[in-house]
Amino acid sequence: MLFCAFLWPSVEANTDAYDLLITNARIVDGSGNPWFRADVAIKDGRIVRIGRIASNTAAKTVDAKGQILAPGFIDVHTHVESVYSLPAAENFVRMGVTSLVTGNCGSSTTDVGQFLGRINEKPLAVNLATLVGHGSVRNKVMGLVDRAPTPEELKQMEGVVEQGMKDGAVGISTGLIYVPGTYAKTDEVVALARVAGRFGGIYATHMRNEGDKVADAIRESIQIGEQAGIPVEISHFKISNKRLWGQTPMTLGLVREARARGLTVTVDQYAYTASSTSLASRMPSWVHAGGFEEAKKRLADKATRERAINDMKDALKRSGFKDYSFAVVASYGPDKSFNGKSIAEITKQVRNKSDVASQIEQILEMYEAGGAGMIYHGMSEDDVKRIMQEPFTMIASDSGVRRADDDSVPHPRGYGNNARVLGRYVRELKLISLEDAVRKMTSLPAQTFGFRDRGLIREGFAADIIIFDENTIADQATFDKPHQYPLGISYVLVNGTVVLANNQMTDARPGAALRGAGYASPVAGK
């Protein structure tokens, strides 16, 4: 009977043995193995015992009956450079994320030591790791110029990457569609990735192309990994060219082939058919050389503007979309009424026109007024599913920290990504098993990014733990109403401390900086 334990405490009872005991959970341990039932005891931030554990051995007990206990999710693709201004990182915590990897797509701090060190003065609810971004390094050394580096400049960039790795970066990232990363040729990236590789880092890439030239871009990514001797992570793996929808067997095949040759190549994805990035990314990269003011000057010249417009028309045609109705504004400073509307809708409203040339004029005008954050509905659901089923795919949001009271209409992935996989793709569509989905959010990211004591429910591992109901977990955030937290996740622990309890955020800030292998010393002999 239930009350017996309370009436007859064992003589050996020692409520100090553990800080926290979680009982009656079904454990999905992150390895991909089928669930098992056990209690989990936590002490000093670590999982210290898994098994049948007497209920009176801990200062506090959480009964997880009927729920799943899993490792906290590790989101390897985020943009949380501003996390110290929102230290609760609530949008991540509420979708079960306990560790963030930022510095993606070539954009990061160039002072990794300072960035990670700030956690001591400004504690966070979640753990934080960073890559060192190639674009940021290039900007620091060369500015935004469209040319190859001189040998001296390359050396300086190598120095910045080396320092970043010694300060604890987990690797190097590129954003080869963005300024200034796009101005780098393959050999420059190889040289810098080689430095990160020497310190045990990973090469994470927003590839040069995710559309009509996606296969070439995958080949380039693999080549960089092979030549630089570094594992490759292809970020937000997708096909965003309508004409190539359905080609994921081919693109995934390229990764499989590389792996068959012994190269470490993995990918991540978010569980949506839309991407999100800047409005500027629609424009040809030559327009952006030298920065925003230079670009505006170029666009003020009639002939140059015409050339940009023609390039954009060509790019649109190649992408297989008939106009810009797939491009929706997430945030536009000068006129918030644009938020949530497509470029086609805005052009109709502002210019009473629906032709592509007018839409491009509208884009250029919004760019000149300061630019916009955008959502691009450019992928096919079948491709998203096929990528998700691949064993080497992990789940990552590509999101920043969010404020729920914000008036922007951002991509819902920052609120719903992990819950969406578990609700929609696991429970509703039965595309992958619960255990495999959790693996893609925990041990696979931990293995890939070198977090050796996280991502599994194991004695001795850090107690990053979540408790959720597999029958109710669901994303609530939609493209129309993105600022909504998911359902079904009741507890989140970071380093053994509760940051979400009974669906309520606590004030605890137990997050740690997760530093890469180079922080201690470079890998010997390389």
- Of 411, 410, 434, the C-alpha closest to 488 is 434
- C-beta separation of 429 from 17 below 8 A: no
- Of 110, 275, 103, 273, the C-alpha closest to 204 is 103
Closer residue to Zn ion, CB minimum distance, 217 or 487: 217
Closer residue to Zn ion, CB minimum distance, 238 or 454: 238
Q: Considering only the stretches 44-52, 59-67, 201-209, 265-273, report the one whose residues sit in contact with Zn ion under the rule CB under 5 A.
A: 201-209
Q: Considering only the stretches 9-17, 99-107, 281-289, 464-472, report the one whose residues sit in contact with Zn ion under the rule CB under 5 A.
A: 99-107
Closer residue to Zn ion, CB minimum distance, 47 or 396: 396
The least CB distance from residue 20 to Zn ion, in Å, is 37
First vs last Cα of the chain: how many Å apart? 63
Query: CA dist 347 to 315, 321, 352, 374, Å?
Result: 19, 16, 7, 15
Closer residue to Zn ion, CB minimum distance, 182 or 362: 182
Closer residue to Zn ion, CB minimum distance, 38 or 74: 74
Q: How far apart are CA 386 and CA 306, in angstroms?
A: 40
Question: Which of 166, 194, 206, 440 is the binder for Zn ion (CB under 5 A)?
Answer: 206
Closer residue to Zn ion, CB minimum distance, 237 or 461: 237
The least CB distance from residue 222 to Zn ion, in Å, is 18
Q: Considering only the stretches 82-90, 204-212, 434-442, 510-518, report the one whose residues sit in contact with Zn ion under the rule CB under 5 A.
A: 204-212
The least CB distance from residue 60 to Zn ion, in Å, is 41
SS3 sequence of 270-312:
CCCCCEEEECHHHCCHHHHCCCHHHHHHHHHCHHHHHHHHHHH
The least CB distance from residue 415 to Zn ion, in Å, is 18
- C-beta separation of 165 from 516 below 8 A: yes
The least CB distance from residue 284 to Zn ion, in Å, is 18
The least CB distance from residue 170 to Zn ion, in Å, is 17
Which tokens sit at 525?
């002999």
292-300 vs 356-368: helix axis angle to the nearest 10? 140
- Of 55, 97, 63, the C-alpha closest to 80 is 97
Closer residue to Zn ion, CB minimum distance, 23 or 173: 173
Alpha-carbon dihedral sign for residues 58, 63, 64, 65: positive
Q: Considering only the stretches 100-108, 365-373, 444-452, 496-504, report the one whose residues sit in contact with Zn ion under the rule CB under 5 A.
A: 100-108
- C-beta separation of 42 from 463 below 8 A: yes
Q: Which residue do the tokens 């994805």 mark? A: 269
The least CB distance from residue 457 to Zn ion, in Å, is 31
Closer residue to Zn ion, CB minimum distance, 206 or 515: 206
Closer residue to Zn ion, CB minimum distance, 281 or 447: 281
Count of residues touching Zn ion (by CB under 5 A): 2
Q: Considering only the stretches 62-70, 205-213, 410-418, 423-431, report the one whose residues sit in contact with Zn ion under the rule CB under 5 A.
A: 205-213
- C-beta separation of 66 from 460 below 8 A: no
Q: Considering only the stretches 192-200, 202-210, 407-415, 489-497, report the one whose residues sit in contact with Zn ion under the rule CB under 5 A.
A: 202-210
Q: Considering only the stretches 61-69, 105-113, 166-174, 418-426, report the one whose residues sit in contact with Zn ion under the rule CB under 5 A.
A: 105-113
Q: Considering only the stretches 17-25, 150-158, 199-207, 265-273, report the one whose residues sit in contact with Zn ion under the rule CB under 5 A.
A: 199-207
Q: Is 327 in the site for Zn ion (CB under 5 A)?
A: no
The least CB distance from residue 235 to Zn ion, in Å, is 5
* Alpha carbons within 13 A on the beta-carbon side of 503: 7
Q: Is 105 in the site for Zn ion (CB under 5 A)?
A: yes
Length of the chain as a residue count? 526
Interaction pattern, residues 408-437, with Zn ion; x per rule: CB under 5 A: ------------------------------
The least CB distance from residue 398 to Zn ion, in Å, is 6
Closer residue to Zn ion, CB minimum distance, 346 or 379: 379
Q: How far apart are CA 332 and CA 339, in angstroms?
A: 6
Query: CA dist 171 to 196, 199, 309, Å?
Result: 6, 8, 37
Q: Considering only the stretches 97-105, 281-289, 315-323, 414-422, report the one whose residues sit in contact with Zn ion under the rule CB under 5 A.
A: 97-105
- Of 8, 118, 91, 102, the C-alpha closest to 54 is 8
Q: Which residue do the tokens 């000068």 mark? A: 334
Query: CA dist 452 to 317, 342, 423, Å?
Result: 46, 44, 28
Q: What share of the chain is helix, strand, coil (3-state, %, to 5)?
A: 35, 20, 40
The least CB distance from residue 206 to Zn ion, in Å, is 3
The least CB distance from residue 236 to Zn ion, in Å, is 6
Closer residue to Zn ion, CB minimum distance, 50 or 131: 131
Closer residue to Zn ion, CB minimum distance, 61 or 235: 235
The residues pairing with 25 across neighbouring beta strands, listed in sequence order, are 38
The least CB distance from residue 58 to Zn ion, in Å, is 43
Closer residue to Zn ion, CB minimum distance, 206 or 427: 206
* Helical segments of 58-185, H only: 90-93, 112-117, 134-142, 151-166
The least CB distance from residue 76 to Zn ion, in Å, is 12
Report helix, strand or coil for 360. Answer: helix
**Interacting residue ranges for Zn ion, rule: CB under 5 A:** 105, 206
